[in-house]
C-alpha cells in the first residue's frame, strides 16, 4: 500500500539539511565569506525540481546558472546584480523569479533566509 501524497510543510517537515562554506567552491566568491545552510523539503522524481529553505550570511558571489529559481525572502536583504549593471534589491516579504540564463551575482547585504523552488537544467 502506498502512502498518500500530502502537502509539504516547511515549518514541520524535517527535510534534508546541508551546511557549506561557499569559499569551498573554487572561483565562486567575490567578496566576504558567506556561510550557507539549506534544508531541501522536496526533490522531484527526476531530480530536476527542488524546494526548500536557505540561509546565508553576508557576502557576494557569482550566481549559479542553468536553473529557474523562485525565491520568497523570509528575512533579510539581498541584491541581484546583473552583468549589465542592473541592481535589484529584495527584502523581507519580497518574492521574485530568477530565470534560466540570468548572468550576474548575488549579494547578501544582511543575513537572509529564503524559501526557494528551483528547476534545474542540464548545462549545454
Highest mean pLDDT among 10-19, 24-33, 80-89: 80-89
Task: State the greatest distance between any 2 C-alpha atoms of the chain, in Å, as a whole number.
Answer: 55
Q: According to the model, what pLDDT value does residue 119 have?
A: 96
Rounded to whole angstroms, the Cα distance separating 82 from 24 reads 23
DSSP 52-91: EEEEE-SEEEEPP-SEEEEEEEEEEEEEEEETTS-EEEEE
Q: According to the model, what pLDDT value does residue 3 have?
A: 57
Residue 22 phi/psi, 5° resolution?
-60, -25
What 17-25 contacts at long range (C-beta under 8 Å, 24+ apart), as own/partner pairs, is 22/56, 22/59, 22/61
User: Does the pLDDT of residue 1 top 50, yes or no?
Assistant: no
For residue 53, which of 95, 113, 105, 123 has the smallest C-alpha distance? 113
Q: According to the model, what pLDDT value does residue 65 have?
A: 85
pLDDT (tens digit, 9 = 90+) per residue, 25-39? 889 999 999 999 999
Cell of 47: 531530480
Residue with the bigger pLDDT between 26 and 92: it is: 92
Q: According to the model, what pLDDT value does residue 124 have?
A: 55
% of residues, the chain, pLDDT over 90: 77
- Domains annotated for the chain, with CATH where assigned, are 17-120 (2.60.120.10)
Amino acid at each position: 500500500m502506498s502512502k498518500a501524497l500530502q502537502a509539504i510543510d516547511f515549518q514541520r517537515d524535517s527535510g534534508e539539511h546541508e551546511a557549506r562554506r561557499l569559499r569551498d567552491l573554487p572561483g565562486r566568491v567575490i567578496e566576504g565569506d558567506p556561510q550557507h545552510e539549506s534544508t531541501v523539503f522536496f526533490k522531484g522524481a527526476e531530480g530536476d525540481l527542488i524546494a526548500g529553505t536557505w540561509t546565508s550570511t553576508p557576502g557576494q558571489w557569482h550566481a549559479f546558472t542553468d536553473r529557474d529559481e523562485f525565491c520568497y525572502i523570509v528575512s533579510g536583504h539581498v541584491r541581484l546584480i546583473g552583468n549589465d549593471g542592473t541592481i535589484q534589491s529584495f527584502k523581507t516579504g519580497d518574492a521574485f523569479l530568477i530565470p534560466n540564463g540570468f548572468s550576474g551575482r548575488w549579494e547578501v547585504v544582511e543575513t537572509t533566509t529564503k524559501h526557494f523552488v528551483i528547476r534545474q537544467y542540464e548545462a549545454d
